Chains A and B, each alone.
Chain A
Amino acid sequence: QTTLRVVTAFPQGTMQNIPLTAFVEHVNETCTDSVTLNFVGGPEAIPTFELGEAVRRGVVDVGFSSQSFYTSIVPDASAIRLSTNSAAEQRENGGWELLNRIHNERMNAYYLARTSDGIPFHLYLTEEADPLDLSGVSLRIAPVYRAFFEDLGATVVQIPPAEVYPALERGVVQGVGWTSLGLFDQGWDQHIRYRVDPGFYVSDSNILVNLDRWNGLDAAAQDCLSEAALWVEGQDHVLLDLQAEELQRQADAGVQVIALDGERRDEFLRRASDAGWAELERLQPEYVTELRELLAPESAE
């Protein structure tokens, strides 16, 4: 019977933590005689951008984080957001194995599970604009979509999360990138008027276990955790239902959709994908070709 310490990179009380909460409860119910998960806290305990390091050296046994928070250690992991196939397909075609090997090598971590699959990012705007030509529009960026928004011609402004609200309120930026979930968490809905469809990229929140800790677990604990991992990856319908609710809530709040169709839609998605892969190629080319074949087969031609 082992107890593992769990820390999340997302602020407590936000929707991003829903899969982790479910996972912890599930493990503590089903693995009673092999392993227990002890939830320690969030960024107030380990800073978001240091959680990867904390998992690497075993200060935290289990970390719940998005690749964008630990790019500095595992640049290749940014390929996860460029996936066009599902986590389940990646389990089948060897994509998961490659990602696990990369996490083993660079982060000393076991890539136990990948949640939030199927939750895309969207471009949200306070004023109407042509998504394929954003010249003259200022957007708040995060590393996830910096390259893409620059490619669309936008003026990108970097703003820490806490200041996004006043920046939207005052018009310093006329838009943000964010997932389909959590717009209301931030109060941003008060200023956002438009959402661009389709969404692009996919979210990822990964459950990572310190590799030494993982190897030290007995087979029963490893099996039970792996089963729980598959279970939680199969729980993404919970988030997808939430997403449907959120999109409805956005519509009720008066957020209008700027829809791209046909060729324009294809161009938007292709430019998103190309910008992301080109950036990864620059940062860490080692596994790019393999990753693209396994995670985004149709873009690999």
Chain B
Amino acid sequence: MEWYWALTILLGLATLLMMTGLPVALVFLSVNIAGGLLFLGGPAGLGLMVRNGVQSLQNYSLAPIPMFIIMGELMLHTGMAAAAISAVERLIRRVPGRMPIVSVVSGTMFAALSGSSMANTAMLGSTLLPQMLRQGYAPQLAIGPIVAVGGIAILIPPSALAVLLGSLAKLSISELLIAGIMPALIMAVLFVAYIVARSLIVGDAKEPDAVATGESFLQRAWPFLRDVVPLFAIFLAVVGSLLGGFATPTESAAVGVAATLIAALLYRRLSLHNLGHSMMQAAKISGMLLFIIVGSTTFSQILAFSGAASGLLRLLTAMELTQLQVILIVVAVLLILGCFIDQVSMMMITLPFFIPMAEAVGVDMIWLGLVYLLCLEIALITPPFGLLLFVMKGVAPPEITLGRITTAVVPFLLIQLGVLALIIGWPQVALFLPDMLFAR
């Protein structure tokens, strides 16, 4: 079978089945059965597919997913997250779209506390969303920023995905992480600007700014010092154990969980009940994601085995290209793949083709790595397969549909694409930091 037929059949079947409302994990398993019969040579291949599914989870690099989610759930159910967010909320006032801005600021802050976009979205979604809906914000404006800002967690250290990308592509992980900081901040600023503009034009929440106005700045800042600043000890534990050589990147995630537990103990917020509850909630979200990974990893293997992936990439790499064209092709392929498969599989499939292709034309590898990270971030929120959309659906009230979440994210998606375009057109915006710090 020609590779383009294989590609059409597999992606087409996946899209069609998703539309029936079958859980995403089962959609992948269905397509895998079809792919197994078509390409892996019948029954023997199907058995192997089951084994590959089991094998796909025997991967230590996946361990940070449950760990960072446990961290987020602990912050959530012990009330540490709510206290931190309300402290931020007291500092931000008298702006149009106040609460959505609070979610962008808190989200960017939590990005430095956590290496997992999914944990961040789960945490902000379960604390801030009900509050915003209660205060009368349009679901459109309440949902969008929370989902979009979740992706910033992979640009700001600690970041499980940046570590994985750096390792797979043999890039300097420190340079890559430093390069991610500027785009992340630009993105956060643009999110805020959009929220303000939209609130001015379309109107804000019906319920006005509820915070008392008689307090002095110090009274308003005190909760921030008490409930937010100490949390950065968690950041220091994660990043410090990594930089200090005590732990590998994956192990540092576990250190983060331990630090969160200690913080909850010191705040006297930890109980057996909320510990158990946090664990069950974390197990629910991580189990959901890991079960999707079983299906999607095997799916990407079948894409590779059928020759569909390499056929497409070989077609592209055969052309004589300039640096910019190479980057644009990387972006196009990643954005399209990102609609269907997960971040880890995207890297596994494409890096063996794109790294040599980029090296051949002398592309700055940190630039390429950063473009990769931005594309991976965008893929988190592009339908039909967008992990952050799913996480949001998992924590939002039942009447919020996946369709509504998806449309709410669109303006923020456009902003992210804008930042991506900026970095492609003007790499120095991001690269001056690593250039300066590492004298590259």
Contacts and interface: CB of A to CB of B under 8 A. Distances in A.
A47 B45 contact: no
Interface residues of A, number: 32
A170 B249 CA distance: 10
Nearest to B250: A163
A163 B61 CA distance: 8
Contacts of B248: 159, 163, 166-167, 170, 172
Contacts of A46: 52, 301, 305
B304 A170 contact: no
A44 to B, nearest CB: 4
Contact of B40 (A44, A59, A162, A165): A59
Residue of A57, A162, A171 with most chain B CB atoms under a 10 A cut-off? A162
B51 A166 contact: no
Interface stretch (B136-144, B239-247, B422-430): B239-247
A41 interface: yes
Contacts of B301: 44-47
B310 interface: yes
A11 interface: yes
Which range holds the interface residue count of chain B? Answer: 35 or more
A13 interface: yes
Contacts of B173: 165-166, 169
B167 A58 contact: no
A40 B301 CA distance: 11
B48 A50 contact: yes
B196 interface: no
Interface of A is mostly: loop
Interface in B271-316: 300-301, 304-305, 307, 309-310
Interface string A40-54: 111111110110011
B51 A170 contact: no
B438 interface: no
30 contacts: A11-B352, A13-B356, A41-B305, A41-B307, A42-B352, A44-B300, A44-B348, A44-B352, A45-B301, A45-B304, A47-B56, A50-B48, A54-B48, A57-B44, A59-B48, A160-B60, A160-B61, A162-B61, A162-B168, A163-B60, A163-B167, A163-B248, A166-B163, A166-B167, A167-B248, A170-B242, A170-B243, A170-B244, A170-B245, A172-B247
Given A40-B307, A46-B52, A172-B246, 12 more contacts: A43-B348, A44-B301, A44-B352, A45-B305, A49-B58, A57-B47, A59-B48, A165-B167, A165-B170, A165-B173, A167-B248, A169-B173
